[in-house]
Structure 1
Amino acid sequence: MAIEIERKFLVRDAGWREAVSRSTRMVQGYLVAEPGLTLRVRIAGERALLTLKGASRGIARAEYEYPVPLADAEAMLRDLACTALVEKVRHLVPVADRVWEVDEFAGANAGLVLAELELEDERAAFVRPDWLGEEVSDDPRYFNARLARHPYRDW
């Protein structure tokens, strides 16, 4: 079974920008967005992925991800998404021996900037950069599936 272990934080300033190694525009929508299961379609640049995620258990959950043809992903977003689309730019930011994903949201979630770090173990150590703010790993308001239904601008 594939397990995603992820910590999520608010970003308190733009200090991360100087270290960005790559940025990718993303749009995603949910075909299923239920409390124990999400089925997401994501277009990231010229790539498209279909991702199934199980219920969160702390900062871990089952995750399965599969590439799909770009045209199929575009059709799924257009014809099958049960939520509004989530738009963002994902910036990869190396810090020490890890790479942070800093998501700068657009559209209905504009103004929200989150930093995520995938870990191999829930207790894994990592360097906490100065630009990192409050941890929100356990706050469901910051889950992308939730942002699709309850956007940041409406908080």
Structure 2
Amino acid sequence: MLTDAIHKIRYKIPIGTHFFEVDLFQKENAGLIIAEIELNSELDEFDVPEWLGEEVTGNNKYYNSYISKNPFSTW
């Protein structure tokens, strides 16, 4: 099944010994920014940057499959 394309710019930002992947969404999802960090385990500690917002892990609303059908501009 084909879905609508999602347009975004991804930045890889080093913070301490980790990297955050920050997605700035474009077009109908403009204004949505999602940051993700890959950890080795749940116990892995990391520096929390000041710009980091609300935790949305596990919230289906922020999955690409959701926003491709329900653009951020309609929230």
Q: Structure 2-normalised TM-score? A: 0.92
Deviation of 1:122 after TM superposition, in Å, equals 2.5
**Higher alpha-carbon Rg:** 1
Higher share in strand: 1
Deviation of 1:123 after TM superposition, in Å, equals 2.7
TM-align CA RMSD:
1.0
Task: Find out whether 1:125 has 2:40 as its counterpart.
Answer: no
Counterpart of 1:135 in structure 2 is 55
Counterpart of 2:69 in structure 1 is 149
Please, which moves more after superposition, 114-123 or 93-102?
A: 114-123
Which aligned pairs between 1:1-155 and structure 2 lie closer than 5 A? 31=1, 82-155=2-75
Runs of 4+ aligned structure 1 residues displaced above 6 Å come to none
Deviation of 1:124 after TM superposition, in Å, equals 1.7
Unaligned runs of 5+ in 1: 1-30, 32-81
- 2:64 aligned partner, one-letter code: N
Per the alignment, in what secondary structure is the counterpart of residue 68 of structure 2? helix
Unaligned runs of 5+ in 2: none
- 1:131 aligned partner, one-letter code: W
**How many residue pairs get matched?**
75
Q: Distance in 1 between matches of 2:72 and 2:41?
A: 30
Q: Distance in 2 between matches of 1:145 and 1:121?
A: 25
Deviation of 1:107 after TM superposition, in Å, equals 1.2
- Deviation per residue, 1:10-42 (Å, 9 max, x gap): xxxxxxxxxxxxxxxxxxxxx5xxxxxxxxxxx
